[in-house]
Structure 1
Amino acid sequence: MLKTGRGAEAPPFLVMDVIAAANARAAALPPGAPGILRMEVGQPGTGAPRGAAQAVARALEAGDPMGYTEAFGLRSLRERLARHYAERYGAAVPVERIAVTLGASGAFPLAFLAAFDPGDAVAMAAPFYPPYANILTALGMRPQLLECGPETRWQPSLAMLEALDPRPEGLILASPCNPAGTMLPPEEFAAIARWCHANGVRLVSDEIYHGLTYGTVAETTAAGLTPSAVVVNSFSKYFSMTGWRIGWLVLPEDLVRPVECLAQNLFISAPHVSQVAAETAFDCRAELEENLARYRRSRALLLRELPRAGLDRIAAADGAFYLWADIGHLTNDSVEFCRRLLAEADVAATPGVDFDPARGARFMRLSYCGPEADMAAAPGRIARFLGR
């Protein structure tokens, strides 16, 4: 029998299976039937900003060959990203420490390979974004799960970290986080960043939901707190450019050359065409803020109406566009619950086991970044499904 590698053992990212099931259900619906309410995936219902698409059209019409760029991306895009950190956070980030990547998904393997060795423990809150653990496992590293709950806003606390013995080699922090949408207050974020730096724990800060916050907690970037952290961000969420596969890293000085060499060999460069769009996306704030306003309205409606429909145990949704719902009073099998919700109510949701293998059987995640009309229709369908 032929050998298979460690990567062949990576578990599935279950939300992708839910997407496939929802697509199959939609294809089977009779003509004229109400459609599927897509609440399973964190993909904005809008596309790339109009200005970004127009910039690409102009470049193509001008005959730009769109060839390879430097491994870290177009200098002009990296300079725009550096200016973004100065303008938004008051943080001075040298352009040399910024790497343009194939989305956040392409950034994580680069960061993990450069910062950690096989066997290293990397801590993260549970529930968590599944590819954190799956990528680490595929690379031979060890995810170390910190069970979090509403008492810590589904985020790790300094006390949890100080209790770890031995210390992990790394910590992944996400604020806002997926799936709970909660954020760390700035003073708690800063305390954790200081602890990591003082204890030789590499902080990897996932900031892909920055820009998608609702005024309850202020955004904090690790780039302004510690010189040793890795920051991961993306144009997929706030900038609504999921399929363009474009993101970035802010790197500490000691990881700049290692990540550059890895990027050269693994990816060569991020797509040139996507980099052109991304640079212009920063000039499309009015359109992007309109998207945020729609998410804000959908969030408010769902937080008001879902409890009336029977889902009354929802995490504080400080940011991102997710609701983490405790359905333990309804089921102890979130996979079957979500399967039936799709089959009987045409609402696609993601079972919590994707985000928390130990406790996720009594949770599900609902995404509210789809069309407003669909989000408004969801509580009624869920109420009927639950017999309300």
Structure 2
Amino acid sequence: MALKIGRGAEAPPFIVMDVITAANARQAALPPGAPHVIRMEVGQPGTGAPAGAVAAAAAALQAGAPMGYTEALGLRSLRTRIARHYADWYGADIAPGRIAVTVGASGAFPLAFLAAFDPGDRVAMAAPFYPPYVNILAALGITPVMLEAGPETRFQPTVEMLERLDPRPDGLIVASPCNPAGTMLHPDELAAIAAWCHEAGVRLISDEIYHGLTYDNPIATAAALSPSAVVVNSFSKYFSMTGWRIGWMVLPDDLVRPVECLAQNMFISAPHIAQVAAEAAMDCTAELQANVARYRRSRDLLLRSLPAAGFPKLSPAEGAFYLYADVTDRTNDSRAFCARMLAEAGVAASPGVDFDRARGNRFIRFSYCGPEADMAEAASRLAGWR
């Protein structure tokens, strides 16, 4: 007798993870001395955790500090430090009690979605989008609603797009800076969207995991603009701590206890040692800003060199560490195009179909958070590859 398989088993792959596997296999198959594969497929900083974070974790372990369960919402000292971060960066007064420490941003999203929405609800977002938004929502029985965005709005949603939706959605996810385009909702735009959502009874989920990685424009947080918004952030990107699996949420008052109960049951708590390291990381400003300067140099180099290498249509790259390239003139199959680029040029990039299922066959995403020398070498290789 065949056994039932749950709806969650039908979740599609996060294609960038398949690209990582292919790039790893190609690197392993290269003969000694061959040019290495240049990794531009994944948004993983090549810088590693700040020295102060590593030292704090090592000191805690050497002192024999017990690394057990913490409160489900996280260490109180870390939550207090995150609250101070909002005062320092945004001038926002956020109570530590509204902060939930999570198992990365990836652990925050299902908590937010389960607390805020029911099966059958409709949650809007701009396309292109971060794939797990859609995959997690669908696994929970929540319907994603796509707002097709393009260069004319910097691949970001607008109030006008929202007003055209009938019926109105139950929620909206925004990301600024966004993955894959690296563009931002400017403060006035985010404020307008936050106000519209609050007045319309639409729950706003603001993905702010790339805050700190901005180059020319000011940033704003939805936590300072709406009493009903959920803000998701992470130590993975600006703080360069991907493998430590530590993130946080700023919650509206009505969702604090629901998220706490869900976290107790689903995760118990984020890893204790990661929380210790994360708290120390927040004071490593000089090292972190040096990382940002490095990303800026790589961004500027690629914006100058990729057009001459056959990629003239690039997103504005206002933040994060991504360039979204329109390759319509070269292919209508971005997945095959990326596979060929890996095989022939030794450069790994992500196909746009991961981020936009309707139009992504004409786009690819480059990540430029790897070593600066690799970014320069990638530009050189691609200039000689067609």
TM bucket (normalised to shorter chain) is over 0.9
Alignment of 1:161-180 (within 5 A): 161-180=162-181
Partner of 2:381: 381
Deviation at 1:283, TM superposition (A): 1.1
Q: What CA distance in whole angstroms lies between the structure 2 residues aligned with 1:65 and 1:28? A: 43
Q: What is the distance in 1 between the residues matched to 2:215 and 2:146?
A: 28
Provide the C-alpha distance between the structure 2 equivalents of 1:184 and 1:82, rounded to a whole number of angstroms: 23
- Give distance in 2, aligned partners of 1:111 and 1:294: 33
Tell me, in whole angstroms, the C-alpha distance in 2 between the residues paired with 1:300 and 1:8: 41
Counterpart residue identity of residue 335, structure 2? V
Aligned residue for 2:246?
Answer: 246
1:34 aligned partner: 35
Structure 1 SS opposite 2:384:
helix
* TM-score, normalising length: structure 2: 0.99
Measured in 1, the distance between the counterparts of 2:263 and 2:16 equals 27
Shift of 1:47: 0.6
Partner deviation per Cα, 1:66-109 (whole Å, 9 max, x = no partner) = 00000000000000000000111011111110000000000000
1:341: how far off?
0.3
What residue in structure 2 maps to residue 189 of structure 1? Answer: 190
Give the match for residue 3 of structure 2. Answer: 2
Q: Describe the SS at the equivalent of 1:294.
A: helix
Alpha-carbon shift at residue 185 of structure 1 (Å):
1.5
Within 5 Å, give how 1:6-155 maps onto structure 2.
6-155=7-156
| C-alpha RMSD over aligned residues | 0.5
User: Take 1:176 and 1:261, find their aligned partners in 2: how far apart are those partners?
Assistant: 30
Correspondences of 1:168-247 after superposition (within 5 Å)? 168-215=169-216, 217-247=217-247
Aligned to 1:299: 299
Q: Distance in 1 between matches of 2:244 and 2:141?
A: 29
Q: d(CA) in 1 for partners of 2:137 and 2:383?
A: 39
Report the CA distance between 1:380 and its aligned residue: 1.4
Distance 1:178 1:60 in 2: 35
Following superposition, the deviation at residue 31 of structure 1 comes to 0.4
Q: Distance in 2 between matches of 1:89 and 1:246?
A: 21
- Residue number in structure 2 paired with 1:367: 367
Task: Structure 2: state its 5+ residue gaps.
Answer: none
Provide the rounded CA distance (Å) in 2 between the counterparts of 1:88 and 1:155. Answer: 23
Distance 2:10 2:95 in 1: 39
**CA distances 1:49-71 after superposition (whole Å, capped 9, x unpaired):** 01100001100010011000000
Equivalent position of 2:160 in the other structure: 159
| Residue equivalent to 1:325 | 325
Q: d(CA) in 2 for partners of 1:65 and 1:23?
A: 37
Any stretches of 5+ residues in structure 1 without a counterpart?
Answer: none
Secondary structure at the counterpart of residue 385 of structure 1: coil
- Give TM-score scaled by structure 1 length: 0.99
- Map 1:253-292 → 2, pairs under 5 A: 253-292=253-292
1:270-302 CA distances to partner (integer Å, 9 max, x unpaired)? 000000000000111111111101000000000
Q: Deviations over 1:157-216 (max 9, x none)?
A: 11001111100000001010000000111111100000000000000000000000001x
Percentage identity across paired residues of the two chains:
75
SS in 2 for 1:331: coil
- Give, in whole Å, the separation in 2 of the partners of 1:185 and 1:222: 11
What SS does the corresponding residue of 2:306 show, helix, strand or coil?
helix
Q: Flag as ranges the 4+ runs of structure 1 deviating above 4 A.
A: none
Alpha-carbon distance, 1:359 to partner: 0.3
1:350 Cα deviation after fit:
0.3
**Separation (CA, whole Å) in 2 of partners of 1:125 and 1:375:** 29
